[in-house]
Amino acid sequence: MKLAWDTFVRFDAPDYTQEGIRNFKNFVNDEMLRKMFLAGYYQLFVAVDEGKCVGMLTLREKTHISLLFVDEKYHLHGVGSALIKFVSKYAVDEEGIDKLTVNASPYAVDFYRKKGFRDIGPVTSADGISYTPMELELHRFFGE
């Protein structure tokens, strides 16, 4: 979660209110989140380079990307794209899922659109956090 927090502070926090920053920090440091991972409600996928975690993606309830963060030094090197591709294939092959959703931060909206996600609702704010609800239809992602 340190990677998520450090990357959030650098790239996402400037678009958020103090309330939103506080709520995100509480979320990634929450004991309940850890318990949800242990209970299987969240799955964690990581990208590793020379033993160091350089990217992470979490799925909530197998269909919703909850956290996707890449170490600043690895931005624009395909790490986020590789995580999306890997998790998409996993969702189809292992879970039988036909679409993924995400609540994209303002910083990440263009990235998700380039990966094939489409907006499914207007920009929304809750608890000081702004996001665009988006969806990726996996059969389109894999050209089926």
Q: What is the pLDDT at residue 38?
A: 84
Q: What is the pLDDT at residue 72?
A: 94
To the nearest 10°, report the CA torsion of 71, 65, 113, 86: 70
Is residue 18's pLDDT more than 90? Answer: yes
Asked if 79 and 70 touch (Cβ cutoff 8 Å), the reply is: yes
Query: How many C-beta atoms lie closer than 10 Å to residue 141's C-beta?
Result: 19
Q: What is the pLDDT at residue 109?
A: 97
Compute the distance between CA of residue 64 and CA of residue 5 in angstroms, rounded to an integer: 19
Compute the distance between CA of residue 136 and CA of residue 130 in angstroms, rounded to an integer: 20
pTM for this structure? 0.88
Compute the distance between CA of residue 116 and CA of residue 3 in angstroms, rounded to an integer: 25
Taking residues 41-65, report their average pLDDT. Answer: 94
More confident residue, 143 or 138: 138
Which CATH number fits the domain that encloses residue 123?
Answer: 3.40.630.30
Is residue 143's pLDDT more than 70? Answer: no
Give me the number of domains the chain comprises.
1
Is residue 144's pLDDT more than 60? Answer: no
Q: What angle do CA 6, 44, 83 make, to 5 degrees?
A: 80
Query: Across 6-15, 113-122, 123-132, which has the greatest mean pLDDT?
Result: 113-122
Domain range for 71: 2-141
Q: What is the pLDDT at residue 142?
A: 63
pLDDT in tens, 94-103: 999 999 999 9
Query: How many C-beta atoms lie closer than 10 Å to residue 14's C-beta?
Result: 10
Asked if 54 and 47 touch (Cβ cutoff 8 Å), the reply is: yes
Q: What is the pLDDT at residue 141?
A: 65
Return the bridge partners of 132, or none.
104
What residue type is assigned to position 56 of the chain? M
Which pair of tokens denotes residue 56? 């992470």
Taking residues 55-68, report their average pLDDT. Answer: 94
Taking residues 80-89, report their average pLDDT. Answer: 96
